Structure 1
Amino acid sequence: MRMPSFISKRLQSAKSDISRSAYIPAGQRLYVVGDIHGRADLLAAMQAQIDNDVIARPCAEPIEVYLGDLIDRGPDSASVLGELIKRQTTHRIIVLSGNHERMLLEALDDDRMLALWLKHGGCETLSSYGLHGTEVRLADMAAGDVRTLITTTIPCNHFSFLEALPYSYVSGDYFFAHAGIRPKVPLHAQNPNDLIWIREPFLSSSSNHGLIVVHGHTPVVEPEFLPNRINIDTGAYLTGRLTCLVLEANKLSMLGAA
C-alpha cells in the first residue's frame, strides 16, 4: 500500500524530532500495531502486509507488538482474539493489554465495570461470539446471569490469553504501552491503571520520559509523532484505518491497512 503523503511528511518530521540516537537492537524489526477494536478484516490485511514485508526485506528477528484494545466496538472481536492466539504459535508477537481487555476481565467481578464494558463495546463483542441481539436482552437480566452468559459464551482459552497480557514492553530506546505513562514516574514504577487508561497529563507533557513512548488509546486523524511519544491509534473501528509503525535500527516507517 502506498504511504499517504501526509504520513510521509510526518515521518520526515519525526526523523528530525525523534533523535537519531533512538535505536531498536541490532537484528530486530518491530511492527507495532495500533488499536484493532474488533476489526478482524483490518488485522488480516495488516498481517498479510507484515508477512510480505518480512519476505521482501528479511531480518533476523521480526517482532509484532500489538498495543491493546483488541476487542469491543468493532464487529468481530472473537476472530481477532482467535487469530492472535493462533499467530503466536508461528510468529514472535507481543500483545499488550488495553483498557477494554481489562474492562471485560474486571466485569466478571464488578457490577460497575460490567455496566461500563457493556456500554462501551461489550455487546458488540458478545455478538461476535454468536449472541446476536444481546444488547436488548441484557437490559432485563440480573448481573449474575449476564456473567454466566459471558463465561459460557467466550472460550476459556480466550480468557486465559487476555489474563496473561502484559501492560508494557521495552525494546531499545522505546517503551510500549496501550495508553501511555504517568509523567515524572520512573517507567519501571508505572501503575498498570495508568498504562491502560491515562490521557492527561501524559498527552500534553513535553517531559523526557527516558524512552520514547509508543501508544494508542486516544484516536488521532493521523499518526502523531512528538519528541517524547508516538501515537498510532487511527480509530480503526470507525475510520477503517489500522496503522502499523515499523521500527528498525534508528529508522521509522509505516504500514497501513484500510
Structure 2
Amino acid sequence: MTALPTAQGPTSQEPRQLMVVPDLHGRSDLLRAAVEAFPDAHFISLGDAIDRGPHSLDTISTLMELRAEGRATLLMGNHERMAWEGLRWYRQHQGTHDLGDYRKAMEGLSWWMKNGGESVRRELGGLTLERFPKLLSEYLDALERLVYVTEDGQIHTENPGVPSVLVAHASPPVPHRQHPDPQEALLWLRPFEGPFALPPGVVYSVHGHTPVRMPLRMGRHVYLDLGAYDTGLLALLPLTVQTLSEVTVLAGRGDPSKTNKYPMIGEPVSARALNIRLDGSTRRM
C-alpha cells in the first residue's frame, strides 16, 4: 500500500486530526478561517478550489503553502480537470509541434472558460496557454484523484486493505455509462446516479461536487458541498473510520438562505456552526 509522505506526522499515540474541506471555489477567506479554527489539522481538499468565486489564485496559494508544510493533501475536482485539459494538450504540442494537439489544447481551454474558468481569467486580467500561470500549473500537477484514510491517520493513494474512508471529489471510482473510466467518473457523478459500490475495506466515502442543503449522508456516502462561494457556508468533516464525526460549518460572508435551492437527499449529518467575524476570527454560534 502507498502512503503519502508527510512533513509532520503524529508524535504521540494519538493519530493526527484530518479535516476534509469541500469545494472552495475561490473563497480563500473561508479556507484561512478553517486553518485558524483547526490550527493542528491536516486538510484534505476535495477539489474545485478554483472558479466562480473571487480569489482562486489566493485559495490555491494557501493550499500549496499548506501542502509544502505537510499540512494538506490536494484532490482534483471537475473544475481542475477542465483547467488541466487545455494545459496537458498544450504541453504535448510543445513537444510534438502537431497542430492537432494545439487545436485540442484550445478546445480544452474553451471548455474550461465556458464552465467557470472565465472568473480566473478576469482575476488575472487575462490568461492564455502560452502564458499559463505558474502557480496554477504547479497546483494542477500536485493533485491526486482519490485517497484512502486509515484509523491511524495515514493517507494512502491505493486501497490499504484495512478499514478506511475513501475521499474523492464526486463519487467512488466506479465505471458509468457516461464516464467509463472510473478515474474520470469520480470527478463527475452525482448522488442520484448512485448508490455506488465501495472498494473492499472502505467503511464510507466523502464527497463534494453536488451542492446540498446541509451536510448529508446517502447510504454510505457523505456529501459536504454547501455552495460556499455563494452561501458563505463551508462544511468541515473530521475523519474517523468507524464512526461519522460531527461536521463543523463555518459561516462567513454570503447568503445562507441560498442553500434552500439545493437538494435534500438522504439523512442529515450532525453539525455545529462556527461564525466568522469580519476581522477573520471565529466564534461558536
TM over 0.5: yes
1:181 corresponds to 2:175: no
In 1, the alpha carbon distance for the partners of 2:181 and 2:15 equals 29
State which of 26, 38, 45 in structure 2 corresponds to 1:66: 45
2:72 aligned residue: 93
What count of residue pairs does the alignment treat as equivalent? 204
In 2, the alpha carbon distance for the partners of 1:220 and 1:200 equals 10
What's the CA shift string for 1:48-68, capped at 9, x where partnerless? 1111xx4xxxxxxx4211100
1:229 corresponds to 2:221: yes
Query: Greater helix percent: which structure?
Result: 1
State which of 183, 186, 196 in structure 2 corresponds to 1:192: 183
State which of 125, 143, 161 in structure 1 corresponds to 2:139: 161
Root mean square deviation of aligned Cα = 2.6
Task: Structure 2 unaligned segments of length 5 or more: list them.
Answer: 1-12, 90-103, 151-163, 252-285
1:34 aligned residue: 22
Aligned-pair identity (%): 31
2:47 touches 2:77 (CA, 8 Å); kept in 1?
Answer: yes
1:99 touches 1:196 (CA, 8 Å); kept in 2?
Answer: yes
In 2, the alpha carbon distance for the partners of 1:64 and 1:235 equals 19
How many Å apart are 1:226 and its aligned residue? 2.9
In 1, the alpha carbon distance for the partners of 2:242 and 2:42 equals 16
Task: Structure 1 unaligned segments of length 5 or more: list them.
Answer: 1-24, 55-61, 135-144
1:247 touches 1:253 (CA, 8 Å); kept in 2?
Answer: no
Distance 1:217 1:249, change over 3 A: closer
Structure 1 window deviating more from structure 2 (161-170 vs 108-117): it is: 108-117
1:40 touches 1:79 (CA, 8 Å); kept in 2?
Answer: yes
1:8 aligned residue: none
In 1, the alpha carbon distance for the partners of 2:198 and 2:118 equals 40
1:124 corresponds to 2:114: no
1:184 touches 1:209 (CA, 8 Å); kept in 2?
Answer: no
1:138 aligned residue: none
In 2, the alpha carbon distance for the partners of 1:147 and 1:113 equals 10
In 1, the alpha carbon distance for the partners of 2:55 and 2:175 equals 38
Distance 1:106 1:229, change over 3 A: same
Which SS does the other structure have where 2:115 is aligned? helix
Greater relative contact order, per chain length (Cα 8 Å cut-off, separation 6+):
1
1:46 touches 1:256 (CA, 8 Å); kept in 2?
Answer: no
1:84 corresponds to 2:63: yes
Which SS does the other structure have where 2:85 is aligned? helix
TM-score by length of 1: 0.71
Amino acid at match of 2:247: M
What's the CA shift string for 1:235-255, capped at 9, x where partnerless? 111211111101236440222
